[in-house]
Chain A
Amino acid sequence: MHANTFDRFEHRHSLIHRLDPRVKTVITLLFIVANVLLPDGAWLAFLAAWAFLLLLTVLADLPLFYAAKRSFIVLPFTLAAITVMFTLPGQPLLSWQMGSRQMMITDAGLLRFVSIVIRSWLSIQMAILLTAVTQLPDLLHALQHLRVPRILVAIISFMYRYLFVLADEAMRLLRAREARSARGWAGKSGGTIWWRARVAGHMVGQLMLRSLERSDRVYNAMLARGYDGRLLTLNPHRMQPGDWLAGVLAAAVIAGIQLLGRLPPI
Protein backbone atom coordinates (compact mmCIF):
# COMPACT_ATOMS: atom_id res chain seq x y z
CA MET A 1 0.00 0.00 0.00
CA HIS A 2 1.02 3.52 -0.66
CA ALA A 3 0.54 6.44 1.67
CA ASN A 4 -1.57 8.86 -0.34
CA THR A 5 -3.46 10.43 2.48
CA PHE A 6 -1.51 13.67 2.45
CA ASP A 7 -2.07 14.51 -1.16
CA ARG A 8 -5.09 16.72 -1.62
CA PHE A 9 -4.41 17.74 -5.19
CA GLU A 10 -7.19 16.99 -7.67
CA HIS A 11 -6.02 16.57 -11.23
CA ARG A 12 -8.07 18.71 -13.60
CA HIS A 13 -7.38 20.93 -16.54
CA SER A 14 -9.41 23.90 -15.44
CA LEU A 15 -8.74 27.58 -15.75
CA ILE A 16 -8.03 27.76 -12.04
CA HIS A 17 -5.58 24.87 -12.15
CA ARG A 18 -3.58 26.58 -14.85
CA LEU A 19 -3.27 29.90 -13.01
CA ASP A 20 0.16 30.81 -11.74
CA PRO A 21 0.53 29.45 -8.20
CA ARG A 22 1.63 32.85 -6.96
CA VAL A 23 -1.69 34.37 -7.96
CA LYS A 24 -3.54 31.57 -6.23
CA THR A 25 -1.50 31.87 -3.06
CA VAL A 26 -1.79 35.63 -2.85
CA ILE A 27 -5.53 35.59 -3.55
CA THR A 28 -6.05 32.92 -0.91
CA LEU A 29 -4.16 34.95 1.66
CA LEU A 30 -6.00 38.10 0.65
CA PHE A 31 -9.35 36.34 0.92
CA ILE A 32 -8.54 35.03 4.39
CA VAL A 33 -7.28 38.36 5.70
CA ALA A 34 -10.25 40.25 4.25
CA ASN A 35 -12.55 37.66 5.73
CA VAL A 36 -11.13 38.13 9.19
CA LEU A 37 -11.53 41.89 8.85
CA LEU A 38 -15.26 41.71 8.05
CA PRO A 39 -17.37 43.12 10.87
CA ASP A 40 -19.51 40.85 13.05
CA GLY A 41 -22.86 40.03 11.57
CA ALA A 42 -22.06 41.12 8.02
CA TRP A 43 -24.30 38.33 6.76
CA LEU A 44 -24.59 39.62 3.24
CA ALA A 45 -20.83 39.88 2.90
CA PHE A 46 -20.37 36.37 4.34
CA LEU A 47 -22.86 35.08 1.82
CA ALA A 48 -21.11 36.92 -1.01
CA ALA A 49 -17.74 35.50 0.08
CA TRP A 50 -19.19 32.02 0.06
CA ALA A 51 -20.71 32.59 -3.36
CA PHE A 52 -17.30 33.71 -4.63
CA LEU A 53 -15.77 30.56 -3.21
CA LEU A 54 -18.41 28.37 -4.83
CA LEU A 55 -17.85 30.14 -8.13
CA LEU A 56 -14.12 29.35 -7.92
CA THR A 57 -14.96 25.74 -7.08
CA VAL A 58 -17.14 25.46 -10.16
CA LEU A 59 -14.50 27.12 -12.32
CA ALA A 60 -12.00 24.59 -10.96
CA ASP A 61 -14.23 21.79 -12.21
CA LEU A 62 -14.76 20.45 -8.70
CA PRO A 63 -18.07 19.38 -7.11
CA LEU A 64 -19.92 22.41 -5.74
CA PHE A 65 -19.53 21.50 -2.08
CA TYR A 66 -16.05 20.02 -2.43
CA ALA A 67 -14.46 22.39 0.08
CA ALA A 68 -17.45 22.52 2.41
CA LYS A 69 -17.43 18.75 2.81
CA ARG A 70 -13.79 18.70 3.78
CA SER A 71 -13.97 21.71 6.07
CA PHE A 72 -15.78 20.18 9.01
CA ILE A 73 -12.62 18.89 10.62
CA VAL A 74 -11.75 22.44 11.70
CA LEU A 75 -15.11 23.23 13.23
CA PRO A 76 -14.17 21.70 16.60
CA PHE A 77 -11.34 24.22 16.83
CA THR A 78 -13.78 27.10 16.67
CA LEU A 79 -15.18 25.85 19.97
CA ALA A 80 -12.25 27.70 21.49
CA ALA A 81 -14.20 30.86 20.68
CA ILE A 82 -17.22 29.73 22.66
CA THR A 83 -16.24 31.84 25.64
CA VAL A 84 -17.02 35.08 23.80
CA MET A 85 -20.70 34.19 24.14
CA PHE A 86 -20.41 34.67 27.88
CA THR A 87 -17.89 37.44 28.16
CA LEU A 88 -19.16 40.08 25.75
CA PRO A 89 -21.47 42.58 27.45
CA GLY A 90 -24.92 42.97 25.92
CA GLN A 91 -28.59 42.00 26.24
CA PRO A 92 -28.90 38.69 28.10
CA LEU A 93 -30.54 35.99 26.00
CA LEU A 94 -30.24 33.04 28.30
CA SER A 95 -28.96 32.65 31.82
CA TRP A 96 -28.69 29.89 34.31
CA GLN A 97 -27.09 29.06 37.62
CA MET A 98 -23.99 26.90 37.55
CA GLY A 99 -22.73 26.23 41.03
CA SER A 100 -22.18 29.58 42.60
CA ARG A 101 -21.84 31.39 39.27
CA GLN A 102 -24.41 32.98 37.11
CA MET A 103 -23.88 31.97 33.44
CA MET A 104 -25.28 34.34 30.86
CA ILE A 105 -25.27 34.33 27.05
CA THR A 106 -25.57 37.81 25.56
CA ASP A 107 -26.82 38.79 22.12
CA ALA A 108 -23.57 40.54 21.19
CA GLY A 109 -21.65 37.47 22.38
CA LEU A 110 -23.75 35.10 20.30
CA LEU A 111 -23.39 37.34 17.26
CA ARG A 112 -19.63 37.38 17.59
CA PHE A 113 -19.43 33.65 18.16
CA VAL A 114 -21.46 32.84 15.06
CA SER A 115 -19.42 35.34 13.04
CA ILE A 116 -16.17 33.76 14.16
CA VAL A 117 -17.39 30.31 13.21
CA ILE A 118 -18.47 31.52 9.78
CA ARG A 119 -15.19 33.35 9.17
CA SER A 120 -13.11 30.32 10.14
CA TRP A 121 -15.27 28.10 8.03
CA LEU A 122 -14.92 30.32 4.96
CA SER A 123 -11.17 30.72 5.44
CA ILE A 124 -10.54 27.01 5.76
CA GLN A 125 -12.62 26.31 2.68
CA MET A 126 -10.45 28.68 0.67
CA ALA A 127 -7.30 26.99 1.93
CA ILE A 128 -8.73 23.59 1.04
CA LEU A 129 -9.55 24.86 -2.42
CA LEU A 130 -5.99 26.13 -2.84
CA THR A 131 -4.46 22.74 -2.06
CA ALA A 132 -6.96 21.04 -4.35
CA VAL A 133 -6.00 23.15 -7.37
CA THR A 134 -2.25 23.58 -6.79
CA GLN A 135 0.41 20.88 -6.59
CA LEU A 136 2.54 21.23 -3.51
CA PRO A 137 5.79 21.72 -5.45
CA ASP A 138 4.16 24.65 -7.28
CA LEU A 139 2.98 26.04 -4.00
CA LEU A 140 6.56 25.84 -2.71
CA HIS A 141 7.78 27.75 -5.74
CA ALA A 142 5.17 30.38 -5.11
CA LEU A 143 6.31 30.72 -1.53
CA GLN A 144 9.89 31.06 -2.68
CA HIS A 145 8.96 33.84 -5.08
CA LEU A 146 6.96 35.57 -2.41
CA ARG A 147 10.20 35.81 -0.40
CA VAL A 148 9.40 33.23 2.22
CA PRO A 149 12.84 32.36 3.70
CA ARG A 150 14.48 29.69 1.59
CA ILE A 151 15.28 27.48 4.53
CA LEU A 152 11.61 27.31 5.50
CA VAL A 153 10.63 26.36 1.97
CA ALA A 154 13.36 23.71 1.94
CA ILE A 155 12.10 22.27 5.21
CA ILE A 156 8.54 22.05 3.91
CA SER A 157 9.73 20.44 0.70
CA PHE A 158 11.75 17.77 2.53
CA MET A 159 8.85 17.20 4.86
CA TYR A 160 6.56 16.70 1.90
CA ARG A 161 8.96 14.28 0.22
CA TYR A 162 9.79 12.19 3.28
CA LEU A 163 6.41 12.17 4.95
CA PHE A 164 5.50 9.54 2.38
CA VAL A 165 8.64 7.54 2.94
CA LEU A 166 8.10 7.69 6.68
CA ALA A 167 4.45 6.69 6.41
CA ASP A 168 5.38 3.79 4.15
CA GLU A 169 8.04 2.74 6.62
CA ALA A 170 5.57 2.90 9.51
CA MET A 171 3.14 0.85 7.48
CA ARG A 172 5.80 -1.76 6.78
CA LEU A 173 6.64 -1.98 10.48
CA LEU A 174 2.97 -2.39 11.34
CA ARG A 175 2.57 -5.07 8.73
CA ALA A 176 5.64 -6.89 9.98
CA ARG A 177 4.15 -6.88 13.47
CA GLU A 178 0.81 -8.06 12.15
CA ALA A 179 2.41 -10.88 10.23
CA ARG A 180 4.09 -12.14 13.36
CA SER A 181 1.10 -11.67 15.66
CA ALA A 182 -0.34 -15.08 15.00
CA ARG A 183 -3.37 -16.09 16.99
CA GLY A 184 -3.00 -19.44 18.71
CA TRP A 185 -5.83 -21.95 18.88
CA ALA A 186 -5.94 -21.54 22.62
CA GLY A 187 -7.94 -18.34 22.60
CA LYS A 188 -6.68 -14.88 23.39
CA SER A 189 -3.42 -13.67 21.95
CA GLY A 190 -1.53 -10.47 21.39
CA GLY A 191 -0.26 -10.16 24.94
CA THR A 192 -1.19 -7.71 27.62
CA ILE A 193 -1.82 -4.02 27.08
CA TRP A 194 1.53 -3.39 28.74
CA TRP A 195 3.31 -5.65 26.29
CA ARG A 196 1.56 -4.04 23.33
CA ALA A 197 2.52 -0.59 24.57
CA ARG A 198 6.12 -1.69 24.73
CA VAL A 199 6.03 -2.98 21.17
CA ALA A 200 4.51 0.31 20.00
CA GLY A 201 7.19 2.23 21.86
CA HIS A 202 9.91 0.21 20.19
CA MET A 203 8.36 0.87 16.81
CA VAL A 204 8.34 4.61 17.37
CA GLY A 205 11.97 4.40 18.43
CA GLN A 206 12.79 2.39 15.32
CA LEU A 207 11.13 4.99 13.13
CA MET A 208 13.11 7.77 14.80
CA LEU A 209 16.39 5.92 14.32
CA ARG A 210 15.64 5.08 10.72
CA SER A 211 14.71 8.68 9.96
CA LEU A 212 17.88 9.91 11.58
CA GLU A 213 20.03 7.56 9.52
CA ARG A 214 18.10 8.40 6.42
CA SER A 215 18.68 12.11 6.92
CA ASP A 216 22.39 11.30 6.96
CA ARG A 217 22.19 9.39 3.69
CA VAL A 218 20.05 12.04 2.01
CA TYR A 219 22.57 14.68 3.00
CA ASN A 220 25.28 12.51 1.46
CA ALA A 221 23.29 12.19 -1.73
CA MET A 222 22.97 15.97 -1.88
CA LEU A 223 26.70 16.39 -1.31
CA ALA A 224 27.44 13.87 -4.04
CA ARG A 225 25.59 16.06 -6.50
CA GLY A 226 27.39 19.22 -5.60
CA TYR A 227 25.30 20.66 -2.75
CA ASP A 228 27.32 23.36 -1.01
CA GLY A 229 24.86 24.82 1.44
CA ARG A 230 22.83 26.77 -1.10
CA LEU A 231 19.68 25.21 -2.43
CA LEU A 232 19.25 26.24 -6.05
CA THR A 233 16.02 25.76 -7.95
CA LEU A 234 14.78 26.44 -11.42
CA ASN A 235 11.41 28.00 -11.58
CA PRO A 236 9.14 27.05 -14.42
CA HIS A 237 6.51 29.69 -13.65
CA ARG A 238 5.98 32.84 -15.62
CA MET A 239 3.19 35.30 -15.00
CA GLN A 240 1.05 35.59 -18.13
CA PRO A 241 -1.33 38.47 -18.86
CA GLY A 242 -4.18 36.12 -17.94
CA ASP A 243 -2.64 35.52 -14.53
CA TRP A 244 -2.45 39.24 -13.83
CA LEU A 245 -6.00 39.69 -15.02
CA ALA A 246 -7.33 36.88 -12.84
CA GLY A 247 -5.42 38.23 -9.86
CA VAL A 248 -6.76 41.74 -10.29
CA LEU A 249 -10.31 40.48 -10.84
CA ALA A 250 -10.23 38.34 -7.73
CA ALA A 251 -8.75 41.16 -5.68
CA ALA A 252 -11.54 43.45 -6.91
CA VAL A 253 -14.19 40.91 -5.89
CA ILE A 254 -12.61 40.61 -2.45
CA ALA A 255 -12.60 44.40 -2.10
CA GLY A 256 -16.25 44.49 -3.18
CA ILE A 257 -17.18 41.94 -0.52
CA GLN A 258 -15.37 44.04 2.05
CA LEU A 259 -17.31 47.11 0.97
CA LEU A 260 -20.56 45.19 1.16
CA GLY A 261 -19.77 44.16 4.74
CA ARG A 262 -19.00 47.70 5.84
CA LEU A 263 -21.82 49.57 4.15
CA PRO A 264 -24.42 50.82 6.64
CA PRO A 265 -27.67 48.83 6.34
CA ILE A 266 -30.15 50.61 4.09
Chain B
Amino acid sequence: MPVFHHRADPIIASPLPAGAPVIAVHGLSFAYSDGHVALHEVSIDIHAQEKVALVGPNGAGKSTLMLHLNGILGQHDNGRVQVSGMPINRANLPHIRAKVGLVFQNPDDQLFSPTVFEDVAFGPLHMGFAEPDVRARVERALGQVGMEGFGERLSHHLSIGQKKRIAIATVLSMDPEILVLDEPSAGLDPRARRSLINLLRQLPITMLVSTHDMLMVRELFPRMIIMDEGHVVADGPTPALMSDAALLEAHGLEMP
Protein backbone atom coordinates (compact mmCIF):
# COMPACT_ATOMS: atom_id res chain seq x y z
CA MET B 1 0.00 0.00 0.00
CA PRO B 2 1.38 3.39 -0.86
CA VAL B 3 1.11 5.86 1.93
CA PHE B 4 0.10 9.43 1.34
CA HIS B 5 0.77 12.00 3.94
CA HIS B 6 -0.39 15.43 3.00
CA ARG B 7 -1.97 18.38 4.57
CA ALA B 8 -5.37 19.76 3.89
CA ASP B 9 -4.54 23.33 2.91
CA PRO B 10 -2.03 23.77 0.08
CA ILE B 11 -0.35 27.14 0.39
CA ILE B 12 -1.65 29.65 -2.11
CA ALA B 13 0.12 32.82 -3.18
CA SER B 14 -1.44 36.21 -2.53
CA PRO B 15 -1.32 38.98 -5.16
CA LEU B 16 1.07 41.89 -4.81
CA PRO B 17 0.14 45.41 -5.99
CA ALA B 18 1.84 46.19 -9.32
CA GLY B 19 5.16 47.97 -8.98
CA ALA B 20 5.65 47.16 -5.30
CA PRO B 21 8.99 45.59 -4.34
CA VAL B 22 8.88 41.84 -3.62
CA ILE B 23 11.59 42.24 -1.03
CA ALA B 24 11.47 45.38 1.08
CA VAL B 25 13.90 45.83 3.95
CA HIS B 26 13.78 49.15 5.75
CA GLY B 27 16.12 50.19 8.55
CA LEU B 28 16.82 46.65 9.70
CA SER B 29 19.32 46.30 12.55
CA PHE B 30 20.23 43.02 14.13
CA ALA B 31 22.50 41.75 16.88
CA TYR B 32 23.32 38.09 17.56
CA SER B 33 22.73 36.77 21.05
CA ASP B 34 26.40 37.28 21.95
CA GLY B 35 25.88 41.02 21.43
CA HIS B 36 27.69 41.25 18.09
CA VAL B 37 25.81 43.71 15.88
CA ALA B 38 25.76 42.13 12.42
CA LEU B 39 23.37 44.51 10.64
CA HIS B 40 23.13 48.31 10.99
CA GLU B 41 20.08 50.05 9.55
CA VAL B 42 20.07 47.99 6.37
CA SER B 43 17.60 49.03 3.66
CA ILE B 44 17.11 47.36 0.29
CA ASP B 45 14.25 47.11 -2.20
CA ILE B 46 14.19 44.37 -4.79
CA HIS B 47 11.55 44.25 -7.51
CA ALA B 48 10.05 41.29 -9.30
CA GLN B 49 12.36 39.56 -11.83
CA GLU B 50 15.39 41.52 -10.64
CA LYS B 51 18.67 39.61 -10.34
CA VAL B 52 20.80 41.14 -7.64
CA ALA B 53 24.27 40.21 -6.38
CA LEU B 54 25.21 40.74 -2.74
CA VAL B 55 28.94 41.14 -2.28
CA GLY B 56 31.26 42.13 0.53
CA PRO B 57 34.14 40.79 2.62
CA ASN B 58 33.83 37.89 5.07
CA GLY B 59 31.74 38.82 8.06
CA ALA B 60 30.00 41.69 6.25
CA GLY B 61 26.58 40.38 7.23
CA LYS B 62 25.48 38.89 3.92
CA SER B 63 24.35 35.57 5.35
CA THR B 64 22.69 37.31 8.28
CA LEU B 65 20.63 39.48 5.94
CA MET B 66 19.61 36.48 3.88
CA LEU B 67 18.42 34.55 6.90
CA HIS B 68 16.13 37.46 7.75
CA LEU B 69 14.36 37.18 4.41
CA ASN B 70 12.96 33.85 5.51
CA GLY B 71 12.08 34.86 9.03
CA ILE B 72 14.74 32.64 10.53
CA LEU B 73 16.35 35.22 12.79
CA GLY B 74 13.18 36.39 14.45
CA GLN B 75 10.00 38.01 13.31
CA HIS B 76 9.36 41.68 12.63
CA ASP B 77 5.83 42.72 13.15
CA ASN B 78 6.95 46.31 12.71
CA GLY B 79 7.29 45.63 8.99
CA ARG B 80 11.02 46.29 8.69
CA VAL B 81 11.22 43.21 6.50
CA GLN B 82 8.46 42.57 3.99
CA VAL B 83 8.25 39.84 1.40
CA SER B 84 5.61 40.23 -1.31
CA GLY B 85 4.03 42.93 0.80
CA MET B 86 3.72 40.65 3.84
CA PRO B 87 5.49 41.54 7.08
CA ILE B 88 7.32 38.59 8.57
CA ASN B 89 5.12 37.31 11.36
CA ARG B 90 3.77 34.02 12.55
CA ALA B 91 0.68 34.08 10.36
CA ASN B 92 2.61 34.94 7.19
CA LEU B 93 5.59 32.66 7.73
CA PRO B 94 4.29 29.57 5.89
CA HIS B 95 3.43 31.74 2.87
CA ILE B 96 6.74 33.57 2.98
CA ARG B 97 8.71 30.34 3.22
CA ALA B 98 6.86 28.95 0.24
CA LYS B 99 7.78 32.07 -1.76
CA VAL B 100 11.40 32.49 -0.72
CA GLY B 101 13.73 29.63 -1.58
CA LEU B 102 16.72 30.03 0.71
CA VAL B 103 19.85 27.98 0.10
CA PHE B 104 22.34 27.97 2.95
CA GLN B 105 26.03 28.54 2.57
CA ASN B 106 26.98 25.05 3.79
CA PRO B 107 25.24 22.19 1.92
CA ASP B 108 25.69 19.89 4.91
CA ASP B 109 23.23 22.10 6.75
CA GLN B 110 20.83 22.16 3.82
CA LEU B 111 20.78 18.43 3.14
CA PHE B 112 19.53 16.74 6.28
CA SER B 113 17.77 13.65 4.91
CA PRO B 114 19.40 10.29 4.28
CA THR B 115 18.64 10.26 0.55
CA VAL B 116 18.69 12.96 -2.12
CA PHE B 117 15.08 12.23 -3.07
CA GLU B 118 13.82 12.77 0.45
CA ASP B 119 15.69 16.05 0.71
CA VAL B 120 14.34 17.45 -2.53
CA ALA B 121 10.84 16.22 -1.64
CA PHE B 122 10.91 17.80 1.81
CA GLY B 123 9.79 21.27 0.72
CA PRO B 124 6.91 20.24 -1.60
CA LEU B 125 5.66 17.71 0.95
CA HIS B 126 5.52 20.33 3.65
CA MET B 127 3.77 22.72 1.30
CA GLY B 128 0.98 20.17 1.08
CA PHE B 129 1.31 18.69 -2.40
CA ALA B 130 0.07 15.19 -3.14
CA GLU B 131 2.40 12.33 -3.98
CA PRO B 132 2.38 12.51 -7.81
CA ASP B 133 3.00 16.27 -7.73
CA VAL B 134 5.83 15.84 -5.28
CA ARG B 135 7.46 13.21 -7.48
CA ALA B 136 7.10 15.36 -10.58
CA ARG B 137 8.63 18.34 -8.79
CA VAL B 138 11.57 16.32 -7.53
CA GLU B 139 12.24 14.99 -11.03
CA ARG B 140 12.09 18.45 -12.52
CA ALA B 141 14.26 20.08 -9.86
CA LEU B 142 16.94 17.41 -10.16
CA GLY B 143 16.87 17.85 -13.92
CA GLN B 144 17.26 21.61 -13.60
CA VAL B 145 20.51 21.24 -11.69
CA GLY B 146 21.72 18.43 -13.94
CA MET B 147 21.48 15.71 -11.32
CA GLU B 148 18.87 13.42 -12.86
CA GLY B 149 18.95 9.93 -11.46
CA PHE B 150 20.60 10.93 -8.19
CA GLY B 151 17.37 10.49 -6.20
CA GLU B 152 18.29 7.26 -4.50
CA ARG B 153 21.84 8.34 -3.68
CA LEU B 154 22.85 8.96 -0.10
CA SER B 155 23.58 12.62 0.60
CA HIS B 156 26.72 11.97 2.60
CA HIS B 157 28.40 10.16 -0.26
CA LEU B 158 28.20 13.12 -2.65
CA SER B 159 31.02 15.50 -3.48
CA ILE B 160 30.82 19.10 -2.32
CA GLY B 161 29.88 20.37 -5.77
CA GLN B 162 27.15 17.74 -6.11
CA LYS B 163 25.85 18.61 -2.66
CA LYS B 164 25.71 22.27 -3.65
CA ARG B 165 23.65 21.49 -6.73
CA ILE B 166 21.28 19.23 -4.81
CA ALA B 167 20.95 21.99 -2.21
CA ILE B 168 19.70 24.32 -4.95
CA ALA B 169 17.33 21.60 -6.18
CA THR B 170 15.82 21.35 -2.69
CA VAL B 171 14.38 24.83 -3.10
CA LEU B 172 13.72 24.75 -6.85
CA SER B 173 11.30 21.90 -6.15
CA MET B 174 9.27 24.36 -4.08
CA ASP B 175 8.85 26.62 -7.13
CA PRO B 176 9.87 29.74 -5.23
CA GLU B 177 9.13 33.22 -6.55
CA ILE B 178 12.30 34.50 -4.99
CA LEU B 179 15.57 32.65 -4.91
CA VAL B 180 18.03 33.56 -2.17
CA LEU B 181 21.37 31.81 -2.60
CA ASP B 182 24.29 32.07 -0.21
CA GLU B 183 27.55 31.61 -2.14
CA PRO B 184 26.26 29.06 -4.64
CA SER B 185 29.39 28.92 -6.79
CA ALA B 186 31.95 28.36 -4.02
CA GLY B 187 33.58 24.96 -4.39
CA LEU B 188 32.23 24.21 -7.87
CA ASP B 189 34.49 23.07 -10.69
CA PRO B 190 34.47 25.23 -13.84
CA ARG B 191 31.90 23.10 -15.63
CA ALA B 192 29.53 22.99 -12.68
CA ARG B 193 30.00 26.73 -12.19
CA ARG B 194 29.19 27.33 -15.81
CA SER B 195 26.02 25.24 -15.66
CA LEU B 196 25.02 27.04 -12.46
CA ILE B 197 25.38 30.38 -14.25
CA ASN B 198 23.31 29.11 -17.15
CA LEU B 199 20.67 27.80 -14.79
CA LEU B 200 20.43 31.10 -12.92
CA ARG B 201 20.24 33.00 -16.17
CA GLN B 202 17.32 30.91 -17.40
CA LEU B 203 15.27 31.02 -14.23
CA PRO B 204 12.70 33.77 -14.69
CA ILE B 205 12.43 34.62 -11.00
CA THR B 206 13.66 37.24 -8.58
CA MET B 207 17.11 36.46 -7.25
CA LEU B 208 19.39 37.65 -4.49
CA VAL B 209 22.74 35.89 -4.59
CA SER B 210 25.65 36.46 -2.25
CA THR B 211 29.01 35.64 -3.72
CA HIS B 212 32.73 36.35 -3.86
CA ASP B 213 32.79 35.40 -7.53
CA MET B 214 33.08 38.83 -9.20
CA LEU B 215 33.26 37.33 -12.70
CA MET B 216 29.88 35.73 -12.16
CA VAL B 217 28.52 39.02 -10.82
CA ARG B 218 29.61 40.88 -13.92
CA GLU B 219 28.24 38.24 -16.22
CA LEU B 220 24.90 37.61 -14.59
CA PHE B 221 23.73 40.36 -12.29
CA PRO B 222 22.76 43.79 -13.62
CA ARG B 223 22.52 45.14 -10.09
CA MET B 224 24.93 44.79 -7.20
CA ILE B 225 24.78 45.57 -3.50
CA ILE B 226 27.99 45.95 -1.51
CA MET B 227 27.93 45.32 2.23
CA ASP B 228 30.67 45.87 4.76
CA GLU B 229 30.55 45.53 8.54
CA GLY B 230 26.80 45.33 8.63
CA HIS B 231 26.18 48.40 6.43
CA VAL B 232 24.98 48.61 2.87
CA VAL B 233 27.77 50.76 1.42
CA ALA B 234 26.74 50.77 -2.23
CA ASP B 235 23.75 49.70 -4.27
CA GLY B 236 23.52 50.27 -7.99
CA PRO B 237 24.13 49.02 -11.54
CA THR B 238 26.96 46.53 -11.67
CA PRO B 239 28.95 48.18 -14.50
CA ALA B 240 29.07 51.49 -12.64
CA LEU B 241 30.13 49.98 -9.30
CA MET B 242 32.61 47.63 -10.93
CA SER B 243 34.43 50.50 -12.58
CA ASP B 244 34.83 52.37 -9.30
CA ALA B 245 38.22 50.97 -8.29
CA ALA B 246 38.45 53.07 -5.14
CA LEU B 247 35.09 51.82 -3.87
CA LEU B 248 35.95 48.19 -4.56
CA GLU B 249 39.32 48.46 -2.91
CA ALA B 250 37.90 50.18 0.16
CA HIS B 251 35.73 47.13 0.78
CA GLY B 252 38.21 44.41 0.05
CA LEU B 253 36.83 43.58 -3.39
CA GLU B 254 38.73 43.06 -6.60
CA MET B 255 37.87 44.12 -10.08
CA PRO B 256 37.41 40.99 -12.21
Contacts and interface: CB of A to CB of B under 8 A. Distances in A.
A50 interface: no
B171 A225 contact: yes
Consensus secondary structure, chain A interface: helix
Given A225-B174, A228-B94, A157 B113 contact: yes
A158 B156 CA distance: 12
A161 B112 contact: yes
A158 B155 CA distance: 12
A223 B118 CA distance: 16
B170 A217 contact: no
Interface stretch (B47-55, B101-109, B228-236): B101-109
Given A225-B170, A226-B98, A226-B127, A140 B156 contact: no
Contacts of A73: none
Interface stretch (B1-9, B186-194, B212-220, B247-255): B1-9
A66 to B, nearest CB: 21
Which of A2, A232, A235 neighbours the largest number of chain B CB atoms within 10 Å of its CB? Answer: A232
A237 B250 CA distance: 58
Contact of A218 (B109, B126, B134, B155): B109
Interface residues of B, number: 43
Contacts of A146: none
A228 B72 contact: no
Contacts of A136: 114
23 contacts: A137-B154, A145-B3, A158-B112, A214-B109, A217-B104, A221-B104, A222-B112, A222-B122, A223-B70, A223-B72, A224-B102, A225-B123, A225-B126, A226-B97, A226-B123, A227-B122, A227-B126, A228-B126, A232-B126, A233-B5, A234-B121, A238-B1, A238-B2
Interface of A: 2, 7, 135-137, 140, 145, 157-158, 160-162, 164-165, 214, 217-218, 220-228, 232-236, 238-239
- Rank and list the top 8 A-B pairs by shortest CB-CB distance, nearest first: A226-B126, A164-B156, A225-B123, A137-B114, A217-B109, A232-B125, A224-B102, A235-B3
